[in-house]
């Protein structure tokens, strides 16, 4: 061990990574001092997750060098990361749902006596770790039967058992309530004293300020600044995150209170609840209006649109679409009533990736809309699909190409295109820009505005604050399942404060 | 089972409900036809269903991994044919037995390599290989039975013990299968190999990220299924003294039924080896019990089907309830 290793756990120089035409990381230079809690903040697409994936060995950088504890690496694999003691807790759980808790704590690292798994030995190691993070779950319980918040702590325990030198936490509190989050933050704060450097990634700035010794702000794949927390305040960090808008081509919309007052209501929601994440939400959308839904992960904003569409059961409240109160919400009824849902997880629920563009564009209209025909005319479908492809400028060689081969932005246009085929009066857009590059984002925004200009109402949920402030006429703020307020014409900083307060 | 848990709660084994179901079935048949409960009858029943029980204990491995093998009946057949023909050709009995089991392992390995290389579910691969193995069997046995009849063979200790010439208080085949179950149970639930199989069945992507060599494990598990099917073939040859072209053709239903009735889900990630043994006995009691009750034997297949639907139905209801509760 040389002396340098004491100062920096990680030093990266000129780190770059491209995905197709998009630069996820653009020459990042960063030093992370040992035995501190470092927070990395930035918008979605700022390059945080790419950086973390490189550190865990899951992604290979195109250019640049990585120095870990004084040792230089040109290539960095999952094996070298774990050998160096880099532990990562992913945002998506990586647990074996059918297996018991103890088995999940030692995935393929089970201790053995002879050929047999030594559960007793493993339990002796696991129990103190459980105690230290305040987790009280029987070790022989099946993980799938444990509440989600405990699963997240089990995932954390799994990483801690390896006693990592560098611990990367990606949104670790997303499934935790306030009390559990506090417990976790206290725990994280204590880690540097035990020789673990922490890299903490979170959207919640209050958490970041509570836990971090050092804050690094990233934007568009580059470093904005990296300073001790004591030299920073929340507005400065927000300023760094948002920056001057790169996508200045999207002109900001001015709030139009008049429009809302004069136009007919396409959607009226009163005290909606699904009994779980959505507890008491009221909002209205007028024809031609774009209404945003802002809220942190876990606030209920994620589930709101699916509940409105009928994909999740509602337990209370009224939903009125174009003046008619809907007694029974179901996807089938929603399609009939002209409500379209552009889902967030387009790969899982929005598209048939193995089928062609033409098949994808037509399956809703074939399935539920055009009545009276018995046999499907493939020629007719292809012709109709061609029209949508032209209208939305979907980049594809022909309508017979598999949708899975298109880029994320073009896939999203296919999802929107297929829903517009049923000529909906209300469009629910659930985080449509997830995994979409800046260029495609600009086009999507143009499309959304066109749809609104045709007199359709749009409810727009996004995890990116700047998208909401740029695109929406009005924004509804959701916190802990309750719609707390409605705002017009706020800027990014104000809105971040509102959803975090 | 979990020695680590200090606060030991009184917990019924997960096989409790299946054991209960078996006892109820035996009780019903025994109440109506008391001769059914004679020890020698019950031992005979167990012995005649021991081969499908053995295969059920191993199909649990594949189901736990989220896969299913449709070809094991024909692996069993062809292994027995290989061993039988070798014996008739003058190969020493013990070498012929090893050849037969080896052939089974080789066929299992082929299934495994194909499913890994072609990246197809095992069910699709074995749909094809099942016919290949059956075809090879028909070609080598010239569509007739393979019967080692020479005195030198039939008087070999292998045939005498398995065939029941040498009297043992408990049929030898039964002792062997119970021992095999002990090994299969320990391997799946107590060793890293078993943990890896269950991890792959539970979450393949997480298994890969945990560093588990998923392809190797798949091939090994398929090979194990082949070896066990081969052993089943040898046991069959010794027990019955002959292999017919149709041997193994009707094994798929009772074997998979035994595993499912025993409590192993088709979705992967979980499995119980002992449960499959109980499941195999339930299938056996249904088959034999129907004969005892004087009902035409053709009904047993139908009843087995009903029991499967019932077992899966109960399992699903419990699962849905649990999901709602959490």
| pLDDT digits 0-9 by tens, A120-142 | 999 999 999 998 888 889 999 99
Asked if B44 is an interface residue toward chain A (Cβ–Cβ < 8 A), one would say no
pLDDT of B220 > 90? The answer is yes
By three-state DSSP, how is residue A214 classified? Answer: strand
Architecture category of domain A244-338+424-501 in CATH: 3-Layer(aba) Sandwich (3.40)
Give the integer Cα–Cα distance in Å for A53 and A24. Answer: 12
Q: Please indicate, yes or no, if residue B325 is contained in any of the structural domains.
A: no
Cα-Cα end-to-end distance for chain B: 25
At A312 the pLDDT is: 84
Per-residue pLDDT for B53 more than 90? Answer: yes
pLDDT tens, residue by residue, A300-323: 887 888 888 888 888 888 899 888
Q: Which residues of A touch B10 (CB under 8 A)?
A: none
**pTM summary value:** 0.73
Per residue in B109-137, pLDDT tens? 999 999 999 999 999 999 999 999 999 99
Sheet holding A214-219, edge to edge: A86-89, A166-170, A197-201, A37-41, A214-219, A222-228
Contact across the interface for B198 and A119, Cβ inside 8 Å: no
Are B59 and B225 spatial neighbours (Cβ–Cβ below 8 Å)?
Answer: yes
B320 occurs within a structural domain: no
- Interchain contact B204–A (C-beta under 8 A): no
State yes or no: pLDDT of A295 exceeds 60.
Answer: yes
pLDDT of residue A364 exceeding 70: no
Altogether, the residues listed in chain B come to a count of 326
B contacts of A145 (beta carbons < 8 Å): 322, 326
In percent, the amount of chain A with pLDDT more than 90 equals 16
**Spatial contact of A440 and A353, defined as CB atoms under 8 Å apart:** no
Q: Structural domain tally of chain B?
A: 1
- Residue range B184-195: average pLDDT? 95
Question: Which of B191, B199, B326 is facing A96, going by the closest CB pair?
Answer: B199
- Out of A52-66, B75-89, B235-249, least confident range: A52-66
Question: Highest-confidence range of A78-82, A258-262, A317-321, by mean pLDDT?
Answer: A317-321
Q: Does A438 touch chain B if contact means CB atoms closer than 8 Å?
A: no
Q: What is the pLDDT of residue A92?
A: 66
Long-range contacts of B119-123 (CB under 8 A, 24+ apart): B121/B67, B122/B62, B122/B67, B122/B68, B122/B69, B122/B218, B122/B222, B123/B67, B123/B68, B123/B69, B123/B70
Give the pLDDT of residue A181.
80
Q: Which residue does chain B place closest to A124, by CA atoms?
A: B4
Task: Kindly report the nearest CA distance between residue A243 and chain B, in angstroms.
Answer: 36
Confidence of residue B1 (pLDDT cuts 50, 70, 90): very low
In a domain, B254, yes or no: yes
Q: Is residue B37 part of a domain?
A: yes
Instruction: Name the residue among A107, A120, A145 with its Cβ closest to that of B4.
Output: A120
How confident is residue A262, by pLDDT bands cut at 50, 70 and 90? low
The pLDDT of residue A77 is above 90: no
Q: Which residue has the higher pLDDT, A123 or A203?
A: A123
- B210 touching A, CB under 8 A? yes
Poorest-pLDDT segment among A128-137, A279-288, A397-406: A397-406
Q: What is the pLDDT of residue A1?
A: 39
Query: Closest approach of chain A CAs to the CA of B316, in angstroms?
Result: 15
**Interchain CB distance below 8 Å, A139 and B268:** no
Could you give the 3-state DSSP secondary structure of residue B121? coil
Q: Tell me the two tokens of residue A459.
A: 């409810």
A138 contact residues in B (CB cutoff 8 A): 5, 7, 9
Which positions in chain B touch A79 (Cβ < 8 Å)?
A: 211
**Are B80 and B234 contacting, i.e. CB atoms less than 8 angstroms apart?**
yes
Q: Which residues of A touch B4 (CB under 8 A)?
A: 102, 119-120, 122-124, 139-140
Q: Is the pLDDT of residue B317 over 90?
A: no
Instruction: State residue B31's pLDDT score.
Output: 93
**Residue A14 pLDDT exceeds 80:** yes
Instruction: Render pLDDT for A468-492 as a digit per residue (tens, 0 to 9).
Output: 888 888 999 998 888 888 888 888 7
Q: What is the mean pLDDT of chain A?
A: 81
Task: Delimit the CATH 3.40.50.300 region(s) of chain A.
Answer: 4-242, 244-338+424-501
Least confident of A96-110, A428-442, B79-93: A428-442
pLDDT class for B3, splitting at 50, 70, 90? very low
Task: Please state, in angstroms and rounded to a whole number, the distance separating the CA atoms of residues B265 and B60.
Answer: 9
Assigned architecture for domain A4-242:
3-Layer(aba) Sandwich (3.40)
Q: Which residue of B has its CA nearest to A120?
A: B4
Tell me which chain B residues have a C-beta less than 8 angstroms from the C-beta of A109.
210
| Cβ contact B206–A96 (<8 Å) | yes
Residues B264, B93: contact at Cβ < 8 Å?
A: no
Q: What six digits make up the tokens of A322?
A: 């174009």
User: What three-state secondary structure class fits A229?
Assistant: helix
Query: Is B2 part of a structural domain of the chain?
Result: no
pLDDT given for residue A499 in this prediction: 81
Nearest-angstrom CA–CA distance, B278 and A362: 51
CA pair distance A317, A438, nearest whole angstrom: 38
Q: Tell me: pLDDT of A248 over 60.
A: no
User: What token pair was written down for B192?
Assistant: 């890293």
Q: Is B63 on the interface with A (CB under 8 A)?
A: no
pLDDT of residue A247: 40
Residue A273, strand partner residues: A316
Q: Report how far residue A432's alpha carbon sits from residue A444's, in angstroms, rounded to the nearest whole number.
A: 8
Q: Å from B126 to nearest chain A CA?
A: 24
Which of chain A's residues have a Cβ under 8 Å away from the Cβ of B201? 98
DSSP string covering A421-469, please? Answer: TT--SEEEEESTTTT--HHHHHHHHHHHHHHHHTT-EEEEE-S-HHHHH
B residues 258-287 lying closer than 8 A (beta carbon) to A? 268-270
Asked if the model's pLDDT at residue A249 lies above 70, the reply is no
- Which of the given ranges, A98-102, B201-205, B227-231, B308-312, has the highest pLDDT on average? B227-231
Interior CA angle at B215 toward B210 and B218, to 5°? 105
Give the helix ranges, DSSP H, for A219-272: 234-242, 257-262
**pLDDT band, very low/low/confident/very high, at A236 (cuts 50, 70, 90):** confident
User: What local confidence, expressed as pLDDT, does residue B7 receive?
Assistant: 39
Nearest to A99 among B4, B199, B322 (CB): B199
**Window from A161-175, A231-245, A322-336, B19-33 with minimum mean pLDDT:** A231-245
Q: What is the pLDDT of residue B169?
A: 84
- CATH code for position B219: 1.10.3470
A70 CA: distance to closest CA in chain B (Å): 26
Q: What is the mean pLDDT of residues A88-116?
A: 87
What is the pLDDT averaged over residues A77-98? 80
pLDDT at A114 over 50: yes
Task: State the CB neighbour count (10 A cutoff) for residue B198.
Answer: 23
A-B C-beta contacts closer than 8 Å = 87
Strands A112-113 and A116-117: antiparallel
**Spatial contact of A436 and A378, defined as CB atoms under 8 Å apart:** no
What value does the mean pLDDT of chain B take? Answer: 89
Query: How far apart (Å, rounded) are the C-alpha atoms in residues B94 and B98?
Result: 6
* Residue B265 to chain A, least CA–CA distance (Å): 11
Q: Which residue range(s) make up the domain with B43?
A: 16-25+32-315
> How much is the average pLDDT of A285-309?
86
Contact B199 A147 (CB under 8 A): no
- The answer to whether B10 faces chain A, any CB pair under 8 Å, is no
Residues 88 through 147 of chain A touching chain B, CB cutoff 8 Å: 94-100, 102-103, 107-110, 112, 115-117, 119-120, 122-124, 138-140, 145, 147
pLDDT at A371 over 80: no
The closest CB to that of B3, out of A98, A108, A119, belongs to A119
pLDDT number for residue A473: 87
End-to-end CA distance of chain A: 45
Is the minimum CB–CB distance between B4 and chain A shorter than 8 Å? yes
- According to the model, what pLDDT value does residue A20 have? 65
| pLDDT above 70 for B322 | no
Average of per-residue pLDDT across B174-190: 95
pLDDT of residue A244: 55
For A117, the closest of B190, B211, B322 (CB atoms) is B190
In this prediction, residue B51 carries a pLDDT of 95
pLDDT of the residue at B15? 80
To test the contact with chain A by mutation, choose from B8, B187, B210, B319 the residue with the greatest count of A C-beta atoms within 10 A, namely B210
- Chain A nearest-CA distance from B229, in A, is 24
Backbone angles phi, psi at B205, to 5 degrees: -65, -45
């Amino acid at each position: 061990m040389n002396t340098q290793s004491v100062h920096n756990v990680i030093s990266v120089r000129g780190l770059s990574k491209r995905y197709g035409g998009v630069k996820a990381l653009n020459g990042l230079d960063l030093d992370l001092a040992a035995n501190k809690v470092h927070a990395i903040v930035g918008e979605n697409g700022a390059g945080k997750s790419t950086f973390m994936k490189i550190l865990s060995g899951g992604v290979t950088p195109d250019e640049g060098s990585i120095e870990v504890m004084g040792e230089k690496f040109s290539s960095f694999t999952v094996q070298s990361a774990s050998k160096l003691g880099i532990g990562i807790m992913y945002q998506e759980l990586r647990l074996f749902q059918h297996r018991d808790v103890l088995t999940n704590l030692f995935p393929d690292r089970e201790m053995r006596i002879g050929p047999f798994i030594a559960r007793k030995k493993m339990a002796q190691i696991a129990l103190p770790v459980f105690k230290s993070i305040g987790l009280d779950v029987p070790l022989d319980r099946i993980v799938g039967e444990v509440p989600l918040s405990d699963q997240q702590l089990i995932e954390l325990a799994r990483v801690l058992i390896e006693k990592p030198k560098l611990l990367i936490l990606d949104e670790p509190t997303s499934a935790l309530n306030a009390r559990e989050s506090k417990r976790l933050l206290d725990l994280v704060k204590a880690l540097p004293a035990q020789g673990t450097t922490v890299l903490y990634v979170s959207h919640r700035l209050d958490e970041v300020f509570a836990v971090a010794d050092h804050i690094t702000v990233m934007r568009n794949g580059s470093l904005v600044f990296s300073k001790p927390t004591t030299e920073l305040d929340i507005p400065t960090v927000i300023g760094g995150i948002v920056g001057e808008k790169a996508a200045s081509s999207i002109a900001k919309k001015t709030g139009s209170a008049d429009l809302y007052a004069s136009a007919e209501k396409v959607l009226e929601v009163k005290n909606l609840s699904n009994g779980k994440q959505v507890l008491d939400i009221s909002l209205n959308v007028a024809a031609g209006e774009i209404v945003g839904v802002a809220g942190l992960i876990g606030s209920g904003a994620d589930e709101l649109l699916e509940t409105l569409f009928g994909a999740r059961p509602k337990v209370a409240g009224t939903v009125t679409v174009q003046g008619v109160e809907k007694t029974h919400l179901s996807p089938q009824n929603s399609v009939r009533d002209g409500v379209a849902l552009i889902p967030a997880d387009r790969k899982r629920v929005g598209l048939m990736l193995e089928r062609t563009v033409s098949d994808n564009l037509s399956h809703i209209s074939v399935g539920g809309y055009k009545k009276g025909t018995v046999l499907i005319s493939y020629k007719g479908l292809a012709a109709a699909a061609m029209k949508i492809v032209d209208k939305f400028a979907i980049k594809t060689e022909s309508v017979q190409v598999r949708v899975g081969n298109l880029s994320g932005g073009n896939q999203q246009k296919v999802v929107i295109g297929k829903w517009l085929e049923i000529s909906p009066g209300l469009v629910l857009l659930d985080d449509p820009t997830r995994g979409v590059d800046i260029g495609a984002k600009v086009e999507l925004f143009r499309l959304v505005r066109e749809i609104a200009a045709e007199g359709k109402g749009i409810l727009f949920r996004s995890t990116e604050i700047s998208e909401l402030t740029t695109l929406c006429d009005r924004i509804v703020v959701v916190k802990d399942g309750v719609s707390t307020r409605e705002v017009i014409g706020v800027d990014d900083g104000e809105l971040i404060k509102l959803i975090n307060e | 089972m979990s020695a680590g848990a200090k606060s030991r709660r009184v917990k019924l084994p997960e096989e409790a409900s299946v054991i209960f179901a078996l006892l109820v079935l035996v009780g019903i048949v025994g109440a109506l036809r008391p001769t059914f409960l004679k020890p020698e009858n019950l031992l005979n029943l167990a012995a005649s269903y021991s081969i499908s029980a053995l295969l059920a204990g191993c199909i649990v491995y594949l189901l736990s991994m989220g896969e299913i093998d449709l070809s094991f009946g024909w692996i069993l057949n062809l292994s027995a044919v290989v061993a039988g023909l070798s014996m008739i050709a003058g190969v020493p009995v013990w070498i012929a037995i090893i050849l037969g089991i080896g052939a089974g392992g080789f066929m299992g390995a082929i299934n495994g390599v194909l499913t890994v290389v072609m990246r197809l579910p095992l069910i699709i691969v074995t749909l094809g290989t099942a016919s290949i193995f059956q075809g090879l069997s028909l070609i080598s046995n010239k569509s007739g039975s393979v019967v080692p009849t020479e005195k030198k063979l039939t008087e070999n200790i292998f045939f005498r013990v398995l065939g029941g010439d040498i009297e043992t208080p408990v049929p030898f085949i039964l002792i062997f299968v119970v021992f095999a179950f002990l090994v299969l149970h320990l391997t799946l639930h107590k060793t890293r190999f078993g943990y890896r199989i269950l991890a792959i069945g539970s979450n393949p992507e997480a298994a890969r990220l945990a560093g588990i060599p998923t392809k190797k494990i798949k091939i090994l598990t398929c090979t194990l299924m082949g070896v066990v099917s081969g052993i089943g073939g040898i046991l069959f040859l010794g027990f019955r003294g002959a292999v017919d072209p149709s041997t193994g053709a009707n094994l798929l239903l009772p074997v998979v039924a035994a595993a499912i009735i025993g409590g192993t889900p088709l979705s992967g990630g979980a499995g119980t080896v002992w449960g499959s043994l109980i499941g195999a006995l339930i299938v056996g009691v249904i088959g034999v019990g129907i004969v005892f009750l004087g009902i035409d034997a053709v009904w047993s297949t139908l009843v087995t089907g009903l029991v499967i639907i019932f077992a899966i139905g109960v399992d699903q209801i419990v699962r849905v309830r649990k999901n709602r509760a959490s």
